[in-house]
Chains A and B, each alone.
Chain A
Amino acid sequence: MGVEICVEGLTKSFGRQVIWQDVSLTLPAGEVSVMLGPSGTGKSVFLKTLVGLLKPDRGSVKVAGRDITKLREHELYEVRKLFGVLFQDGALFGSMNLYDNIAFPLREHTRKPESEIRRIVLEKMDMVGLIGAESKLPGEISGGMRKRAGLARALVLDPEIILFDEPDSGLDPVRVAYLNQLIVDLNAQIDATFLIVTHDIASARQVPDNIGLLFRRELVMFGPRERLLTSDEPVVRQFLHGRMQGPIGMAEEKDAAQVEQELAQLDDTGRVPEITPRLLPGPGITRPPRWEAIARREAELHCAEGAGA
């Protein structure tokens, strides 16, 4: 069963530059959450703060009841075993082949015999579709494969929490779709708590239970997917629709008058925003009760929509 992460009043700055301040949210156990935000709003910094790689200026991060920000170094290493993190480029060890990369956490942390390690590694490699590439070096494979290998390595210790740092950056749309399906399937299978940091709206609309949006050095909103998809908040709407009209500018935020003018011209306040259907676990996956409930609700929702139209 996944673990809840409770973030309270988190503030981080580098020197005089505040990255974000007073971020409070709870990632519910076993659910998929997405953290959105324009480039350069400190999404990756947020993720690194959650695992204790960076120390926040203020605030607390409670994982399974323990405050990450106050732990001593060796306790931190213990708590980190709960986490699996997929880094942007996979962060594979360049000197090892894929098999050794994925086996690395097992060899370091467990006393399992090599045959057992082999079984687990091949199982995870099969899960991410990398069978046959065991002896390749990270430098010899494509970015998409590196990501999947990074994911397999993150999964190998059966983590309670999995963090994804831009799983879809630099991938083609088809691979992104596969990866999203993989994420949903994984959630149904291992029941861990997921946090995905991204700026890909299509994934954010389909995959998660909860969405959060970081903008202008703070957490604009965090809540269930439906609430954000139907939100009237201009920043949320602009970002989820990926359009130019709204508070988010090219370089910085725009001035208030310009935003108002743009929004007036746009005039879509009357329209009801559509809710994208949710991505469900694939047919071969046995769904736990949580996913059964989601699937039922999705079916009802879109059935009703179909009848209405």
Chain B
Amino acid sequence: MSLSPTGALRHSGSLFALALDVLRTLPRRPFQAREFIQQAWFVASVTILPTALVSIPFGAVIALQIGSLTRQLGAQSFAGAASVLAVLREASPIVTALLIAGAGGTAICADLGARKIREEIDAMQVLGIDPIHRLVVPRVLASMVVAVLLNGLVSVVGVAGGYFFNVVLQNGTPGAYLASFTTLAQLSDLWAAELKALVFGAIAGIVASYKGLTAKGGPKGVGDAVNQSVVITFMLLFVTNFVMTAVYFQVVPQRG
């Protein structure tokens, strides 16, 4: 990375240019269905297990925190409501984001980066094939779809983990836990979380592709690109998460 003051601006400009290119190339036929399915399968296969393993302790931590908090406040009957809300609204999109960027994005970036330094991308362009259409669009779409599905997985596993810890380990009442499920959470929370996951998947896919396609300087360059792609994706995801949450609270009326 260059250290000149315009360097950062130029990079963000190129990143947005790539995002626009992806958007513009999206409707172009023929759609690369094969590549899309392969990539979706690939991204899913590298993320499913870590996601499930991360979301169990995540749900448990939330359950523990909320369990003790509600006891202190004397509102044990709301333990279920609060933990569902926390998992659904924040925990699951964030866990999804971390894994899609950390496991899926890095794999995409490393793959494209390796192709770039082996001149495969150049060769593809010379053969008259647009790498954005052929490689980037299917990957971005794959990471979006997988993010949405992962978000569902994290929600289920997280809520189940929360239930287990609250009811079995903290001696909460199962009935109260289940009954309070929908007192605070509503269906639009789920939609908002899925929308977040969709956007996170797109950001992770685009940043990973951008960093991969601009990798240079041999194998070390690919390593650097992967490293930067994770850092940049995380920063963007947390900012986007904040903005989307803020907008959500303004737009959707809350219960209670």
A264 at the interface (CB under 8 A from B): no
A93 at the interface (CB under 8 A from B): yes
**Measured between alpha carbons, how far is A54 from B134 in the docked complex, in Å?**
20
- B129 to A91, Cβ gap below 8 A? no
Interface majority SS on B: helix, strand, loop or mixed?
A: helix
Please pick, from A48, A77, A150, the residue contacting B130 in the complex, using a CB distance under 8 A.
Answer: A77
Find chain A residues with CB under 8 A from B134 CB.
108
- A94 to B119, Cβ gap below 8 A? no
Find chain B residues with CB under 8 A from A271 CB.
none
- B128 to A91, Cβ gap below 8 A? no
**Measured between alpha carbons, how far is A153 from B124 in the docked complex, in Å?**
11
Find chain A residues with CB under 8 A from B129 CB.
77, 105, 108-109
Min distance, Cβ A230 to any Cβ of chain B, angstroms: 35
Find chain B residues with CB under 8 A from A83 CB.
126
The 0/1 profile, CB within 8 Å of B marked 1, for residues 197-239 of chain A is 0000000000000000000000000000000000000000000
Min distance, Cβ B127 to any Cβ of chain A, angstroms: 5
Please pick, from B114, B122, B128, B130, the residue contacting A53 in the complex, using a CB distance under 8 A.
Answer: B122
Q: A53-B125, A80-B125, A85-B123 are in contact. Are A91 and B118 (CB under 8 A)?
A: yes
Find chain A residues with CB under 8 A from B123 CB.
85, 87, 91-93, 150, 153
Find chain A residues with CB under 8 A from B119 CB.
87-89, 91
Q: A94-B114, A94-B115 are in contact. Are A77 and B122 (CB under 8 A)?
A: no
- B118 to A81, Cβ gap below 8 A? no
Min distance, Cβ A143 to any Cβ of chain B, angstroms: 13
CB within 8 Å of B: which A60-103 residues? 73-74, 77-78, 80-81, 83, 85, 87-89, 91-94
Please pick, from B118, B122, B124, B126, the residue contacting A94 in the complex, using a CB distance under 8 A.
Answer: B118
A179 at the interface (CB under 8 A from B): no
Find chain A residues with CB under 8 A from B124 CB.
93
**Measured between alpha carbons, how far is A142 from B128 in the docked complex, in Å?**
27
The 0/1 profile, CB within 8 Å of B marked 1, for residues 101-128 of chain A is 0001100110000000000000000000
Please pick, from A53, A77, A91, the residue contacting B120 in the complex, using a CB distance under 8 A.
Answer: A91
**Measured between alpha carbons, how far is A92 from B124 in the docked complex, in Å?**
9
Min distance, Cβ A75 to any Cβ of chain B, angstroms: 11
**Measured between alpha carbons, how far is A258 from B124 in the docked complex, in Å?**
47
**Measured between alpha carbons, how far is A80 from B128 in the docked complex, in Å?**
5
Find chain A residues with CB under 8 A from B128 CB.
77-78, 80-81, 105, 108-109
**Measured between alpha carbons, how far is A295 from B28 in the docked complex, in Å?**
50
Min distance, Cβ B41 to any Cβ of chain A, angstroms: 14
Min distance, Cβ B11 to any Cβ of chain A, angstroms: 15
CB within 8 Å of B: which A253-278 residues? none
Find chain A residues with CB under 8 A from B125 CB.
51, 53, 77, 80
**Measured between alpha carbons, how far is A85 from B120 in the docked complex, in Å?**
12
Find chain B residues with CB under 8 A from A85 CB.
123, 126
Min distance, Cβ A203 to any Cβ of chain B, angstroms: 21
Q: A94-B114, A94-B115 are in contact. Are A80 and B120 (CB under 8 A)?
A: no
- B127 to A105, Cβ gap below 8 A? yes
B127's nearest neighbour on chain A, judged by CB, is: A105
Find chain B residues with CB under 8 A from A150 CB.
123
CB within 8 Å of A: which B106-148 residues? 114-115, 118-120, 122-130, 134
Please pick, from A53, A78, A104, A108, the residue contacting B126 in the complex, using a CB distance under 8 A.
Answer: A53
Find chain A residues with CB under 8 A from B122 CB.
48, 53, 87, 91
**Measured between alpha carbons, how far is A290 from B115 in the docked complex, in Å?**
40
Min distance, Cβ B38 to any Cβ of chain A, angstroms: 10
User: What are the 8 A-B residue pairs with the smallest beta carbon separation, nearest first?
Assistant: A91-B123, A91-B119, A81-B128, A85-B126, A80-B128, A87-B119, A105-B127, A77-B128
- A residues near B (Cβ < 8 Å) are 48, 51, 53, 73-74, 77-78, 80-81, 83, 85, 87-89, 91-94, 104-105, 108-109, 150, 153, 157
- B residues near A (Cβ < 8 Å) are 114-115, 118-120, 122-130, 134
